[in-house]
Chain A
Amino acid sequence: MSSVASNEHVVASPSSVGSGRISHSGFDRGFRAAAIGCAALVLLVLVGIIGSMIWGGLPAFREFGFFGFVGGSTWNVGADRYGAWPAIAGTLSSSLIALVIGVPLSLGIAIFLTQLSPAWLKGPISTAVELLAAVPSIIYGMWGLFVFAPLVANYVQIPLNALVEGVPIVGTVLYSRVPSGTGIFTAGIILALMIIPFIASVTRDMLDQIPPVLRESAYGIGCTTWEVVRHVLVPQAGISIIGAIMLGLGRALGETMAVTFVIGNANRLSSSIFDPGSTIASRIANEFNEAADLQLSALIALGCILFLVTFSVLVAARLLIARVQAR
């Protein structure tokens, strides 16, 4: 089909050469310019995002000072006082929980897929993990709110409350004042589920890239699977696995909808991981449409901080992965 089409073109072109020569080179130049322009547009979008965040957040940064805003722990719309710390702390702690739970799970999946899985199981599991990545975040949020949060309330928070009440330190960190199931801990678990596909699939690709000879020779001298993983695969792919983890961290830091569903959206700072809190992204999603003046600016300033954090995490991740691929 396509070969017929190209033949026709070859036959037809000599007749149009005489008239088409000048416009031909004009088209050539125009095409090149369009390609360069579109590529530059990609750069421009990133610059635009940075610019609009700084520009929009400037009034809030001026009012409270950069460090005053970042470190301020009150977010009071009525008094028009805004501090970013509760949201930053919520973002960092929910992402940390996500990493603590998600990283071992994803590494386990990657090792299972590359080293242990029987061939017939490899395809279906890879597909399932990739489908997990394609499910929109709002579905995770609904599942978290309607199915998972009640389970956390009934089977984690209530028994745990009875266990740790009054105990110093542990009693503060693990006690939930209102065992509703929504809170930073639940958000962390949902985020863990959401970053598993990314970390697992990048790690799997990295493990697959390691020359099989290395693995085979290790098995050949009598290594067990654990020793092959520990002494051959991890040293070979270690840096890129860290890159993959940071890629997952970048996702977790900026995830909005799923977190907004389950985090409870409280504006105060809390010492317990089961208490409701908020992340930068969930705060913006909740308040932006009703905000005006200084509150609007404070929310964009929050966005600016989120951008700086995720940008540096993603840059580090890409550099780590690229360094390994170049080798």
Chain B
Amino acid sequence: MATLATAPAPATTSSPPQVTWGRVRQSRRLADRLLKVVSALFTAIGVFALGWILLMLLWQGFAALGPSVFLHTMPGPGSAGGGLLNAMAGSLIMTTIGIVVATPIGVLAGTYLAEYARTSKLASGIRFVNDILLSAPSILIGLFVYTLLVAPFGAYSGWAGGVALAIIAVPVIVRTTEDMLRLVPNGLREAAAALGAPPSRVITLVTWRAARAGIVTGILLATARIAGETAPLLFTALNNNFWFSPSLIGGVSNLPVTIYQFALSPYTNWQELAWAGALIITITILGLSVLARFVIKREVAR
């Protein structure tokens, strides 16, 4: 029925498609066309959404960005001007604490999984738990660190914020370290062991060196991941509109929570600062991700 109804029309106007699809049923042809059009359309929607978000961010962010953002501390309610200097400093400090704590733990744990216990039951259990932690809700990590480090001491602190970020960074580093160490050919390990090197020397002098670029990539990706995290900082570092104390005890100002509070505030200059902060944080994170790709690509090319 369908073939009878539609077949005459193309036959008169154009014959080549009729020939290529000669004995293909209309329904098969339709399903095929539909799949192609729909999946191309969906891809276009995805790319369009990303473009929309990024363009809006650039537009609003650059409109609000000026030297004062980097030179002044956060403005009080209702006062004009101001910047994000203390928020950026706090974020930088806490991200650094997070990465400094997470790097040795993550690299050593990844080394254990890849070098000491490739096939043991304990190792596969740890690998599984690590994968779960990789996508665990970050707000729960905030709650955990709150009960661990904030409630007992009775004060919010930058240290608690740093630890919360470290807990998020560790699984990323463990995963990439293990994957990268597994790519190191066994011949290298055997050669080093044949020279009489004990396992620790084999790992530190041979396999770590061979996988260096991959491990650095993991650390960069972990930094990118924690730099924009807001939820775990809400209950650990809180926020602070002024300069935080050098001991990092008490609320420590940070960029993500500041963006959250300023964006929802009724003051125009606060909202503009939120856009400027959002732009700074996104550029930092995308820059770190691109850098991570560059590091691993250069290593592959070598």
Interface residues on B, range: 35 or more
Which A residues are CB-close (under 8 A) to B146?
288
Q: Is the CB of A39 within 8 A of B140?
A: no
Residues from 259 to 274 in A contacting B, C-beta threshold 8 Å: 260-261
Cβ-defined partner of A116 (8 Å) among B39, B117, B229: B39
Least Cβ distance of A45 to chain B in Å? 6
Q: Does B281 contact A (CB under 8 A)?
A: yes
Q: Is the CB of A27 within 8 A of B200?
A: yes
Least Cβ distance of A116 to chain B in Å? 6
Complex CA distance for A247 and B105, rounded to whole angstroms: 25
Complex CA distance for A229 and B34, rounded to whole angstroms: 13
| A–B complex contacts, Cβ < 8 Å, 26 sampled | A25-B198, A32-B199, A35-B109, A38-B106, A40-B126, A105-B45, A109-B42, A112-B39, A112-B40, A128-B47, A134-B289, A136-B256, A138-B259, A139-B228, A139-B281, A145-B263, A227-B32, A253-B137, A255-B137, A256-B231, A257-B231, A284-B143, A288-B143, A289-B234, A300-B147, A310-B137
Could you mark each residue 183-208 of chain A with 1 if its beta carbon is under 8 Å from any beta carbon of chain B, else 0? 00000000001001000100000000
Q: Does A314 contact B (CB under 8 A)?
A: yes
Q: Is the CB of A225 within 8 A of B53?
A: no
Q: Please, which residue of chain B has its CB at the minimum distance from the CB of A250?
A: B135
Complex CA distance for A253 and B135, rounded to whole angstroms: 11
Q: Does A142 contact B (CB under 8 A)?
A: yes
Q: Does B112 contact A (CB under 8 A)?
A: yes
Which B residues are CB-close (under 8 A) to A116?
36, 39-40
Total interface residues in chain A, CB < 8 Å: 89
Q: Does B121 contact A (CB under 8 A)?
A: no
Which A residues are CB-close (under 8 A) to B125?
43
Q: Does A36 contact B (CB under 8 A)?
A: yes
Least Cβ distance of B223 to chain A in Å? 12
Cβ-defined partner of A138 (8 Å) among B46, B56, B130, B256: B256
Q: Does B71 contact A (CB under 8 A)?
A: no
Cβ-defined partner of A147 (8 Å) among B56, B115, B209: B56
Residue numbers of B with Cβ under 8 A of A are 24, 28-29, 31-32, 34-36, 38-43, 45-47, 49-50, 52-54, 56-57, 104-106, 108-109, 111-113, 115-117, 123, 125-126, 128-133, 135-141, 143-144, 146-148, 167, 170-171, 174, 198-201, 203-205, 209, 224, 227-231, 234-235, 238, 256, 259-260, 263-264, 274-275, 278, 281-282, 285-286, 289
A6-B205, A224-B28, A285-B234 given as contacts; is B136 within 8 A of A314 (CB)? yes
Complex CA distance for A277 and B132, rounded to whole angstroms: 28
The 10 A-B pairs of least Cβ separation, nearest first, read A254-B137, A136-B228, A108-B42, A31-B200, A224-B32, A35-B112, A38-B108, A108-B39, A256-B231, A38-B109
Which B residues are CB-close (under 8 A) to A34?
108
Q: Please, which residue of chain A has its CB at the minimum distance from the CB of B199?
A: A28
Interface of B is mostly: helix
Q: Is the CB of A43 within 8 A of B126?
A: yes
Residues from 46 to 100 in A contacting B, C-beta threshold 8 Å: 46, 48-49, 52-53, 55-56
Complex CA distance for A20 and B274, rounded to whole angstroms: 57
Least Cβ distance of B36 to chain A in Å? 6
Least Cβ distance of A175 to chain B in Å? 27
Interface of A is mostly: helix
Which B residues are CB-close (under 8 A) to A221?
none
Q: Is the CB of B136 within 8 A of A113?
A: no
Least Cβ distance of B265 to chain A in Å? 12
Least Cβ distance of A2 to chain B in Å? 6
Q: Does A131 contact B (CB under 8 A)?
A: yes
A31-B204, A38-B108, A39-B113 known; 18 new pairs, CB 8 Å cut-off, are A2-B209, A34-B108, A35-B109, A38-B112, A41-B105, A42-B174, A109-B46, A112-B43, A128-B50, A132-B49, A135-B282, A143-B57, A284-B143, A289-B234, A306-B137, A310-B137, A311-B132, A314-B135
Least Cβ distance of A191 to chain B in Å? 13
Which A residues are CB-close (under 8 A) to B50?
128-129, 131-132, 135
Q: Is the CB of B137 within 8 A of A285?
A: no
Least Cβ distance of B225 to chain A in Å? 8
Complex CA distance for A31 and B235, rounded to whole angstroms: 35
Which A residues are CB-close (under 8 A) to B105?
38, 41
Complex CA distance for A34 and B36, rounded to whole angstroms: 53
Cβ-defined partner of B136 (8 Å) among A130, A145, A254: A254
Q: Is the CB of B147 within 8 A of A55?
A: yes
Complex CA distance for A265 and B29, rounded to whole angstroms: 48
Least Cβ distance of B165 to chain A in Å? 13
Q: Does A318 contact B (CB under 8 A)?
A: yes
Which A residues are CB-close (under 8 A) to B40?
112, 116
Q: Is the CB of B209 within 8 A of A226?
A: no
Q: Does A156 contact B (CB under 8 A)?
A: no
Least Cβ distance of B264 to chain A in Å? 7
Which B residues are CB-close (under 8 A) to A255?
137
A145-B263, A285-B234 given as contacts; is B143 within 8 A of A39 (CB)? no
Q: Please, which residue of chain A has its CB at the minimum distance from the CB of B146?
A: A288
Complex CA distance for A56 and B106, rounded to whole angstroms: 28
Complex CA distance for A43 and B128, rounded to whole angstroms: 10
Q: Is the CB of A142 within 8 A of B235?
A: no
Complex CA distance for A285 and B41, rounded to whole angstroms: 36
Q: Does A251 contact B (CB under 8 A)?
A: yes
Least Cβ distance of B177 to chain A in Å? 11
Least Cβ distance of B113 to chain A in Å? 6
Residues from 217 to 231 in A contacting B, C-beta threshold 8 Å: 224-227, 229
Cβ-defined partner of A134 (8 Å) among B57, B198, B285: B285
Q: Is the CB of B137 within 8 A of A42?
A: no
